[in-house]
Structure 1
Amino acid sequence: MSSSANSFQALVRLLRYARGYRRRIIAATTCSIINKIFDIAPEILIGVAIDVVVNQERSFVARLGFTTPQEQILMLAVLTFFIWAGESIFEYLYKILWRNLAQRLQADMRLDTYEHAQRLDMAFFESRSSGQLVATMNDDVNQLERFLDGGANSLIQVGVTVVAVGAVFFVISPLIALLAFTPIPMIIWGAFFFQRKAGPLYADVREKVGDLASRLSNNLSGIATIKSFTSEDREAARLRATSEAYVEANRRAIRVSSAFIPVIRMAILAGFLATFTVGGMLALRGDLNVGAYGVLVFLTQRLLWPLTGLAEVIDLFERAMASTRRILDLLAVPITVKDNEGKPLAAPVRGEVSFESVSFHYASSGVGVDGVSLRVPEGNTLALVGATGSGKSTLIKLLLRFYDPEAGRVCIDGQPIGEVSLNSLRQSIGLVSQDVYLFEGSIRDNIAYGKPDADEAEVIEAARTAEAWDFIQELPQGLDTPVGERGIRLSGGQRQRLSLARALLKDPPILVLDEATSAVDNETEAAIQRSLLKIGLGRTVIMIAHRLSTIVHADEIVVIDGGRVVEQGTHGALIERGGRYAAQWKVQTGAAQDAMALS
Structure 2
Amino acid sequence: MLGRGLGVLGRAIREQPRIFAVAVSGSVLFGLMVIGSAFVVGAVVGEVVVPAVERGSVGVGVLALAAAALIGISVLRVVGIFGRRLGAGYMQFRLQAAYRRRVTRRYLDLPLSWHHRNATGTLLSNANSDVEAAWYPIAPLPFAVGTLVMLIGAVVSLFVTDWALALVGLAVFPALFALNVVYSRRMAPRQARAQRLRAEVSGIAHESFDGALVVKTMGREAQEADRFAARAGELRDALISVGRLRGVFDPMLETLPSLGTLAVLVVGAIRLRGGAITVTELVSVAFLFTVLAFPVRAIGWVLAELPRSVAGWDRVSRVLDATGEMPYGDTVLDPADPRPATLTFTGVGFGYEPAEAHLPGAQVLGEVSFTVPAGRTVALVGPTGAGKSTVASLAVRLVDPLAGTVAIDGVDVRELTADSLARTAALVAQVPFVFDDTVRANIALDRPGIDDETVWAALRLAEADGFVAALPDGLDTMVGERGTSLSGGQRQRLTLARALAGSPRLLVLDDATSAVDPRVEAAILAGLRASAGGGPAASILVVAYRRATIALADEVIYVEQGRVLARGTHTELLATVPGYIDLVTAYEQAEVDDDPHRGFDEVTQVSSGLEVDR
TM-score > 0.5, shorter chain as reference: yes
Q: Is the 8 A contact 2:458 2:501 kept in 1?
A: yes
Is 1:162–2:161 an aligned residue pair? no
Cα distance in 2, alignment partners of residues 380 and 259 from structure 1: 74
Post-superposition shift, 1:182? 0.9
Cα distance in 1, alignment partners of residues 74 and 577 from structure 2: 96
Superposition CA RMSD, Å: 2.8
What secondary structure is seen at the aligned counterpart in 1 of 2:350? strand
Cα distance in 2, alignment partners of residues 458 and 232 from structure 1: 43
Is 1:41–2:36 an aligned residue pair? yes
C-alpha change, 1:597 and 1:372, in structure 2 (3 Å) is closer
C-alpha change, 1:55 and 1:526, in structure 2 (3 Å) is closer
- For 2:239, which of 239, 250, 261 is the aligned residue? 250
- For 2:317, which of 314, 317, 328 is the aligned residue? 328
C-alpha change, 1:89 and 1:557, in structure 2 (3 Å) is same
Corresponding residue number in structure 2 for 1:63:
none
What secondary structure is seen at the aligned counterpart in 2 of 1:372? strand
Cα distance in 2, alignment partners of residues 398 and 339 from structure 1: 14
Cα distance in 2, alignment partners of residues 12 and 91 from structure 1: 23
- For 2:445, which of 424, 446, 449 is the aligned residue? 449
Q: Is the 8 A contact 1:390 1:563 kept in 2?
A: yes
Cα distance in 2, alignment partners of residues 287 and 478 from structure 1: 88
Residue type of the alignment partner of 1:572 = T
Residue type of the alignment partner of 1:223 = A
Cα distance in 2, alignment partners of residues 526 and 372 from structure 1: 28
Cα distance in 2, alignment partners of residues 251 and 170 from structure 1: 43
Post-superposition shift, 1:270? 4.6
More displaced stretch, 546-555 vs 502-511: 546-555
What secondary structure is seen at the aligned counterpart in 1 of 2:243? helix
More displaced stretch, 391-400 vs 270-279: 270-279
Cα distance in 2, alignment partners of residues 474 and 55 from structure 1: 87
- For 2:106, which of 93, 102, 116 is the aligned residue? 116
C-alpha change, 1:274 and 1:39, in structure 2 (3 Å) is closer
Q: How does 1:213-292 map to 2 (within 5 A)?
A: 213-265=202-254, 267-292=256-281
Cα distance in 2, alignment partners of residues 301 and 109 from structure 1: 39
Q: Is the 8 A contact 1:7 1:322 kept in 2?
A: no
Is 1:491–2:479 an aligned residue pair? no
Cα distance in 1, alignment partners of residues 489 and 442 from structure 2: 15
Cα distance in 1, alignment partners of residues 519 and 585 from structure 2: 23
What secondary structure is seen at the aligned counterpart in 1 of 2:558? strand
Q: How does 1:5-16 map to 2 (within 5 A)?
A: 5-16=3-14
More displaced stretch, 315-324 vs 541-550: 315-324
Cα distance in 2, alignment partners of residues 549 and 485 from structure 1: 32
What secondary structure is seen at the aligned counterpart in 2 of 1:337? coil
Corresponding residue number in structure 1 for 2:524:
528
Cα distance in 2, alignment partners of residues 121 and 172 from structure 1: 66
Residue type of the alignment partner of 1:108 = A
C-alpha change, 1:467 and 1:71, in structure 2 (3 Å) is closer
Q: Is the 8 A contact 1:450 1:506 kept in 2?
A: no
Q: Is the 8 A contact 2:88 2:140 kept in 1?
A: no
Unaligned runs of 5+ residues in structure 1 are 57-67
C-alpha change, 1:179 and 1:491, in structure 2 (3 Å) is same
C-alpha change, 1:253 and 1:571, in structure 2 (3 Å) is same
Q: Is the 8 A contact 2:382 2:583 kept in 1?
A: no
What secondary structure is seen at the aligned counterpart in 2 of 1:566? strand
Residue type of the alignment partner of 1:175 = A
Q: Is the 8 A contact 1:468 1:494 kept in 2?
A: yes
Q: How does 1:14-163 map to 2 (within 5 A)?
A: 14-16=12-14, 19=15, 21-53=16-48, 74-143=64-133, 146-148=136-138, 150-163=139-152
Q: How does 1:202-217 map to 2 (within 5 A)?
A: 202-217=191-206
State the aligned residue count: 582
**Any idea what the Cα deviations from partners look like across 1:133-192, whole Å, max 9, x if unmatched?**
2222222334456543x4223322331231111110111122321122213222211111
Cα distance in 1, alignment partners of residues 49 and 555 from structure 2: 107
C-alpha change, 1:262 and 1:473, in structure 2 (3 Å) is closer
- For 2:346, which of 340, 347, 356 is the aligned residue? 356
C-alpha change, 1:266 and 1:482, in structure 2 (3 Å) is closer
- For 1:194, which of 140, 162, 183 is the aligned residue? 183
Post-superposition shift, 1:586? 4.7
Tell me the TM-score normalized by structure 2: 0.87
Cα distance in 2, alignment partners of residues 259 and 592 from structure 1: 67
Post-superposition shift, 1:267? 4.1
Corresponding residue number in structure 2 for 1:475:
471
What secondary structure is seen at the aligned counterpart in 1 of 2:362? coil
C-alpha change, 1:591 and 1:310, in structure 2 (3 Å) is closer
Q: Is the 8 A contact 2:547 2:588 kept in 1?
A: no
Post-superposition shift, 1:81? 2.8
Post-superposition shift, 1:76? 4.2
Residue type of the alignment partner of 1:132 = T
**Any idea what the Cα deviations from partners look like across 1:427-448, whole Å, max 9, x if unmatched?**
2112112201111122222232
Tell me the TM-score normalized by structure 1: 0.89
**Any idea what the Cα deviations from partners look like across 1:242-265, whole Å, max 9, x if unmatched?**
221211110111112221133345
Post-superposition shift, 1:521? 3.5
Cα distance in 2, alignment partners of residues 524 and 54 from structure 1: 95
Is 1:514–2:510 an aligned residue pair? yes
What secondary structure is seen at the aligned counterpart in 1 of 2:149? helix
More displaced stretch, 5-14 vs 123-132: 5-14
Corresponding residue number in structure 1 for 2:303:
314
Corresponding residue number in structure 1 for 2:611:
none
**Any idea what the Cα deviations from partners look like across 1:54-98, whole Å, max 9, x if unmatched?**
998xxxxxxxxxxx9986665444333322221112222222222
Residue type of the alignment partner of 1:186 = A
**Any idea what the Cα deviations from partners look like across 1:486-520, whole Å, max 9, x if unmatched?**
11111111111222222211110000010123333
Q: Is the 8 A contact 2:396 2:427 kept in 1?
A: no
C-alpha change, 1:272 and 1:442, in structure 2 (3 Å) is closer
Unaligned runs of 5+ residues in structure 2 are 52-57, 355-360, 603-614
**Any idea what the Cα deviations from partners look like across 1:298-326, whole Å, max 9, x if unmatched?**
22223455435544443344333432332
Q: Is the 8 A contact 2:100 2:127 kept in 1?
A: yes
C-alpha change, 1:528 and 1:34, in structure 2 (3 Å) is same
Residue type of the alignment partner of 2:123 = L
**Any idea what the Cα deviations from partners look like across 1:511-546, whole Å, max 9, x if unmatched?**
001012333333443343433443682421111112
**Any idea what the Cα deviations from partners look like across 1:407-426, whole Å, max 9, x if unmatched?**
22211111111112122112
Cα distance in 1, alignment partners of residues 559 and 479 from structure 2: 37
